[in-house]
Amino acid sequence: MRETIKRLEATRAFRLKQEIPRLTMAERTNLLEGYHPDFRTEGVCQVRIGPNKGERMQKELTDLLEASGRLDPGRVDLTRVDFDVDVLVIGGGGAGVTTALLAHENGSRVLLATKLRLGDSNTIMAEGGIAAATQANDSLNLHFLDTMGGGLFQNKRDLVRALIEDAPLIVEWLKDLGAMFDTHPNGDLVVSFAGGHCRRRVHSCKDLSGLEFMRVLRDEFYNKGIEVLEFSPAIELMLDENGRCAGAVLLNLETNELLLVRAKAVVLATGGIGRLHPNKYPTTNHYGATADGLVLAYRAGAPLLHMDAIQYHPTGAAWPEQMLGQLITEALRGNGAQLVNKDGERFINELETRDVTSSAVIREVRERKKGIKTPTGMEGVWLDVALIDIRGGAGKLDRMFAGIVHRFKEYGIDVHKEPLLVFPTQHYQNGGVEIGPDGQTSIPGLYAAGEVAGGVQGRNRLGGNSLVDIFVFGRRAGKAAAEYAKRTELPTSLNLEHVRKYQQELAEAGIRQGLRSPLLLPDYTRPEIKKHTAACGA
């Protein structure tokens, strides 16, 4: 590894002046089809039952959609209701807390139920920042076009329009809540590039943006006195006799008790899929990202969109091994860091979209054999981070990337001097539950917001566009759910008939694979330990 660092240092002066043109549309397509994991046929399969029957989806997700539920519908006493509320929000990340705030503001009695603690989520881990066209040289049209292009023009246009138009207001809203954005000495907001954006439009709070946003959201949530149930994941939705969503069954993870929440409206905000490890990739995601919301909505009859399109972030940590798959933010490349192979050469414009950049890294390592090998056999390419201080002046890395500097220092790596070894890591689910501009799904009374929802990002999300997505659609869904609740009575009857029917469909299709879903938490027990535990009868 040391030898390749010497080569990287030797080419720095040349690389600082080197311009690498963006790829043409045909070159991008070739790269994606040749190397992107979405195009590996063994990674996807046809789902055999449910609203998307016959469509291709990620294999690991398909397994969960074709699994049995955790409940036997016949054994749940649906008359013993524990909570009656106007709006039940499921999920305690950025989308869920935003939804709860807006539903509360619009007059609803709200209960938020979440799997872990409030804030344990992908949101709190977000690094680079939030995209919005706030600058004089930018426009809503440019942000719209970039987002559509990044999504391979498969995004739903009305959702993208909502995203882009609301984005500048979201930055103001977060500022009003007290979020401390990076600013220049004159007070103007700092904005950075991210892949696929033609303007600088990513607003950051160092490389700890999600932590800062979650801090102010949680403060606001607690100040409003909104009710929350922690360690209480939803394990099934309930419907009423008219097929409207009428609440959810929660599982208390500490006592194993079931809790029944009857609600006029339900909002799913359960986040992504990373801990299913699509295509066996490591992930940047938190432990609760196990696709639960997709399973619940699908079983209740809501179609999913683009669930064969997964985002692999180009710069996951490949060394040290303890950090495998952790995110190394794109904002580093947005501020001048370069991707370099073992011969000290760049091989792609670093501001190509993530799908394209990841494919280029995979090609460099797997086909061109220009990767750098770690002592334990992992391979990756270098991210030359020291260029940020060289270009921007000493202190820029410390000022803008305190998180990265600190995390690597823990392992004795000084990012001011040494490059970071990177390889793609699973990062985001591009698709999700199909929604309209107010987060409404095909099931009356059921809404979805944030990463669990599909259609906004098309087949590939641009950097910074998820944080804005969760706030835009969290606010819209919260308001719409509260308005729906005002014109709706509490359901008089609750049922799990859809679960029974789904079970029947599974049986008729001859599917019996022994899995139960939602998964709730990933199982990392090594096979030899499982065998040992089974042998001990534990």
Task: Give catalytic residues, as residue numbers.
Answer: 313, 333
The minimum distance between CB 202 and ligand FAD, in angstroms, equals 7
Report d(CA 68, CA 505) in Å as an integer: 11
Enumerate residues 6+ apart whose C-beta is below 8 A from 222. none
The minimum distance between CB 209 and ligand FAD, in angstroms, equals 5
The minimum distance between CB 179 and ligand FAD, in angstroms, equals 13
Considering Cα of 100, then 105, then 106, then 107, what sign does the dihedral take?
A: positive
Nearer CB in complex with ligand FAD: 113/404: 113
Report d(CA 189, CA 64) in Å as an integer: 43
Tell me 440's DSSP state: B
Report d(CA 520, CA 46) in Å as an integer: 23
Two structure tokens written together for 380:
């990756």
DSSP-assigned states of every residue in 299-324? HTT--EE-TT-EEEEEEEE-SSGGGT
The minimum distance between CB 436 and ligand FAD, in angstroms, equals 17
Report d(CA 48, CA 527) in Å as an integer: 29
The minimum distance between CB 238 and ligand FAD, in angstroms, equals 14
The minimum distance between CB 538 and ligand FAD, in angstroms, equals 27
Report d(CA 114, CA 137) in Å as an integer: 41
Side chain identity at 476, as an amino acid letter? R
Nearer CB in complex with ligand FAD: 90/265: 90
Binding residues for ligand FAD, rule: CB under 6 A, are 90-96, 113-116, 120-123, 125-130, 209-210, 233-234, 269-271, 284-285, 288-289, 292, 327, 428, 450-452, 464-467, 470, 518
Neighbours of 117 (CB within 10 A): 12
Nearer CB in complex with ligand FAD: 16/515: 515
Beta strands 83-90 and 110-113 are: parallel
Nearer CB in complex with ligand FAD: 31/361: 361
Nearer CB in complex with ligand FAD: 311/341: 311
The minimum distance between CB 496 and ligand FAD, in angstroms, equals 16
Nearer CB in complex with ligand FAD: 301/464: 464
Beta strands 245-251 and 227-229 are: unpaired
CB 45 within 8 A of CB 61: no
**Backbone φ, ψ for residue 12 (5° rounding):** -60, -45
Alpha carbon of 169 to those of 174, 317, 457: distances in Å?
9, 34, 19
Q: Select the residue whose beta carbon is closest to ligand FAD and give its number.
A: 93
Report d(CA 466, CA 537) in Å as an integer: 45
Nearer CB in complex with ligand FAD: 305/372: 305
**Backbone φ, ψ for residue 138 (5° rounding):** -115, 170
Two structure tokens written together for 5:
């660092």
